[in-house]
Structures are given as C-alpha cells and as structure tokens.
Amino acid sequence: MTNNTDTPDRIMLGVLLMLGFCLTAPLLDVAAKLASIEIPVGQITAARFLVQLGLMLPVCLMMGLSFRMNGLLGLLSLRALLLLFSTFFFIAAIRVMPLADALAIVFIEPFIVMLVGKYAFGEDVGPRRIGAAVVGFFGVVLVIQPSFATFGAVALFPLGTAVSFAGYVLVTRGMRGRLHPVMMQFHTGAIATVMSVPVIWLANGSGIEMLDPVWPTGIYWTWLLGVGFFATVSHMMMTYGLTFAPSSTLAPMQYFEIPVAAVLGYMVFQDFPNSIALGGIALIIGAGVYMIHRERVTSRGVATRPHAPI
C-alpha cells in the first residue's frame, strides 16, 4: 500500500494554508493596533483569548474531540501563560512601533529556540547555524536602534515577545503527539482566558494605563473581535498546514509575514521601516532562511546515514 501523506496535492495544500497564515496573521496585528488607540493593552490581550475560546468551542464539539487534558494541565497552563506574555508584549509594542519593525524583532525567536536547544538540552547545532544566529541578532540590533531612539524602552517589548514565544514553542514541542492540536488550541485559549480576565476585572478603576479596562464604543468592538478572530483563523491554518506539509518546507514561508505587515502598516497607518531598520530586517530574514536551509541539510544527512545493525 502506498503512503500518500506527502503527495504533491497535500504538500500544496499545506503551502496554501501557510500562505493564508502569513496573510491573515498581520490582520490580527492591524486590528490590535487600531484597538489600542482607545482600548488598554491588557484588555485587548484578554479579548483575544476570550474570542478564541468562543470560536474554538463549537469546532471542538463538531469534531467530537475529547476535552480531557491527559495529565497536561501544568504544561498547558505554562503554554497559556507564555502565550499571554508574548501577546501582551507585542500589542504593547505595536501600539507605537511600525508593524514590520516589531514583527522582525520577534522573528529572532527561532534563534533563541536553537540556542536554548544547544546549551540547555545538548542538541547538535553546528557553527554555521550559530553564525546565522549571530547575524540575526545583529539584524535585531539594527531594527531596535532607531526604534529605541524614537520610542524608548517600548522598542524592547518585541524581545519580550520573542523570548516568551520561544518558551511557548519549546513547551509545545514537549507536548507533541500527546494532545490533538485543535484541543491544544482550545485549552490554551480557555486557560489564558481564566488567567487574564480576572486581572482585567481587578484592574478596573486602578488607573493602570495598560490594564484598566474601558467600555468599547462603536468600531472598537469590531477591532476587538477582529483580534480574536484573526488570531484563531491564522493559527488554525498554520496548525493544519503543518499536518499536510513538512515543517522544513513551510518554515521559510513564515518570513513572508514581514513584508505583508510592512505593506499593511503603510496602507493603514502610513508607517514604514526606515533604511537602517530595513537593513536589519533583511539580515534577520536572510539569517533565518539560511538557518532553516542548514537544518534541512543536517536532517537529510542524518536520514541518509547508514544505521548500525540491530
């Protein structure tokens, strides 16, 4: 019997889903930036997970999936907390920074995951990939430098997103195969909602700029719903894309998200990275794609290496 899990049709579907992710994920950022004009960052963050929970629940019910956590409550809670921090830092950044600048800094996350894997878990990482990480970090410095001069310490918030999301990726990697991806998204949304909504409730009237909630008016309801909607749709497209095509095929495509964010940022907010930031973005993209290339070469070498007899 032939194995059709990697047929061209399935791989093309995976590619189309990843392209869909790259086109819709920046719409989440646009909605969040528009909402942040009036709505506090913490309230937007909580709304993102509350809407995700409302959208994912009927999907889980229609798919007939089990809601059991399979003993993963601790890891799911850590995953949700890391995603909460990642989301909060990013929304706080794009409230004042151009979308492409903030997103480019976040794309240092794969290098962080690689270095943590090498030095914390003893994973085999060659000098070429370490060199790519150094180049990527230099690119981040180029992006941060003009932003720091203009916006101050808020330019460091995307680094908080990168570190938090790197932890999120590592936790997710540790849960691989132990829970259905759709249920993982549902439980993450549910736990993050339980964590964030009480904080916003308690912050009511506190005067804390980023947490004290306000009652949305008019179009701001649309932006809040858009944050949760585009977050859910984009991440589901990525999740299913990775079930149809190898991650080594799809990973380089994620960098397409940066030019999409740049175009949307210019169209909606008339902001665009300056020449220094553009140079840094080019270094980050180039280093990231090269690192993925080296990962594929290394994996291919391991796959073709003769095995010892059993």
pLDDT of 8: 67
Instruction: Name the residue among 226, 183, 252 with its Cα closest to residue 18.
Output: 252
119/179: higher pLDDT: 179
Is pLDDT at 301 greater than 60 in this prediction? no
Mean pLDDT of 85-97: 93
pTM for the model: 0.83
> At 307, is the pLDDT very low, low, confident or very high (cuts 50, 70, 90)?
very low
Cβ atoms of 254 and 24 closer than 8 Å = no
Q: What's the CA gap between 189 and 248, in Å, rounded?
A: 27
Q: Which residue has the higher pLDDT, 77 or 129?
A: 77
3-state per-residue secondary structure call for 90-153: HHHHHCCCCHHHHHHHHCCHHHHHHHHHHHHHCCCCCHHHHHHHHHHHHHHHHHHHHHHHHHHH
Which of 110-119, 125-134, 199-208 reaches the highest mean pLDDT?
Answer: 199-208
The alpha helices in the chain, defined as continuous H runs, are: 8-35, 41-63, 73-94, 99-106, 109-121, 127-151, 157-174, 181-202, 219-244, 247-250, 257-269, 275-304
The string of pLDDT tens digits covering residues 167-183 is 887 888 778 778 888 89
**97 or 42, which is more confident?**
42
Q: For residue range 207-245, what is the model confidence (pLDDT) as tens digits?
A: 999 999 999 999 999 999 999 999 989 888 887 887 787
Q: What is the mean pLDDT of residues 245-254?
A: 70
- In tens, the pLDDT along 253-272 reads 778 888 888 889 989 998 87
The answer to whether 117 touches 174, Cβ cutoff 8 Å, is no
Contact 165, 82 (CB under 8 A): yes
Mean pLDDT over each residue of the chain, to the nearest integer:
84
Query: In this predicted structure, what is the pLDDT of residue 9?
Result: 67
Angstrom distance (rounded) from CA 229 to CA 78 = 23
Q: Is the predicted pLDDT of residue 33 greater than 50, yes or no?
A: yes
The rounded distance, in Å, linking the Cα atoms of 190 and 188 is: 5
Q: Is it the case that residue 293 has pLDDT exceeding 90?
A: no
Answer whether residue 29 shows pLDDT above 90.
yes
CB 35 within 8 A of CB 44: yes
Confidence check: pLDDT of 164 > 80: yes
| In the chain, % of residues over pLDDT 70 | 89
Query: What's the CA gap between 220 and 152, in Å, rounded?
Result: 27
- Asked whether the beta carbons of 70 and 178 are under 8 A apart, the reply is yes
The contacts of residue 173 (CB under 8 Å, 6+ apart) are none
Euclidean distance between the first and the last CA atom of the chain, given in angstroms as a whole number:
26
